[in-house]
């Protein structure tokens, strides 16, 4: 039996995405309905329209962009205060770990203020999207933690 999962991926502070992408991905007997809604300023107000029934949230952070990590933190906390996301588990992908000056997971945890999220189940995973490193480990955590909630 395949479990259904609504998943919202927010690519925080990412310039490469120009709009919304929706697709279904199956991983370990879970069908992820993925809403990739990008990170541009002009479309962030539209994110909230995708929050309903979201069980898991993946927040992708550019670990190499030290200038905008505070903006990413503010956007993450603003989003997590939405009623529709109160029960969603949070997976943070600290992306671009292949770059020499990238912040590590501990630094991203600190900069995003993740330890202040006492009422939310969260996890941070170092990733490199171009090589795929860390992606499956993060999805394993997410699928296990959503399955445990259900």
Q: In what order do the strands lie in the sheet with 89-95?
A: 21-27, 30-36, 3-11, 56-62, 89-95, 122-126
Summarize pLDDT for 73-91 with one digit per residue, the tens. Answer: 998 898 899 888 888 999 9
Q: How far is CA 131 from the centre of its chain?
A: 18
Instruction: Note the pTM of the prediction, 2 decimals.
Output: 0.81
User: Which residues, listed in sequence order, are joined to residue 47 by a DSSP beta bridge?
Assistant: none
Domain residue ranges of the chain, discontinuous segments joined by +: 6-147
- Assign domain 6-147 to its CATH architecture: 3-Layer(aba) Sandwich (3.40)
> Tens of pLDDT along 24-76?
777 777 777 676 655 556 665 666 676 777 888 888 899 999 998 998 899 88
Flag whether 83 is marked binding: no
Query: How many residues are recorded in the chain?
Result: 150
Pairing mode of beta strands 21-27, 89-95? unpaired
Q: Is 149 annotated as a binding residue?
A: no
- pLDDT, residue 110, reads 98
Supply the pLDDT for residue 137.
94
Catalytic residues: 40
Is position 96 annotated in a ligand binding site?
Answer: yes
How far, in Å, CA of 136 to CA of 143, rounded? Answer: 10
139 has a pLDDT exceeding 70:
yes
Residue 150 labeled ligand binder: no
Percent of residues, the chain, with pLDDT higher than 70: 71
Residue 111 annotated as part of some ligand binding site = no
């Amino acid at each position: 039996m395949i479990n259904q999962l609504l998943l919202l991926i927010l690519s925080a502070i990412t310039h490469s995405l120009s709009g919304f992408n929706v697709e279904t991905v199956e991983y370990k007997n879970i069908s992820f309905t993925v809403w990739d809604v990008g990170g541009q300023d002009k479309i962030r107000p539209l994110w909230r329209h995708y929050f309903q029934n979201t069980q898991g949230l993946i927040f992708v952070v550019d670990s190499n962009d030290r200038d905008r990590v505070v903006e990413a933190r503010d956007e993450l906390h603003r989003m997590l205060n939405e009623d529709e996301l109160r029960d969603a588990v949070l997976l943070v992908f600290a992306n671009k770990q292949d770059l020499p000056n990238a912040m590590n997971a501990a630094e991203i945890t600190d900069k995003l203020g993740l330890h202040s999220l006492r009422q939310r189940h969260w996890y941070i995973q170092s990733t490199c999207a171009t090589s795929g490193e860390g992606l499956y480990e993060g999805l394993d955590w997410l699928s296990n933690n959503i399955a445990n909630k259900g």
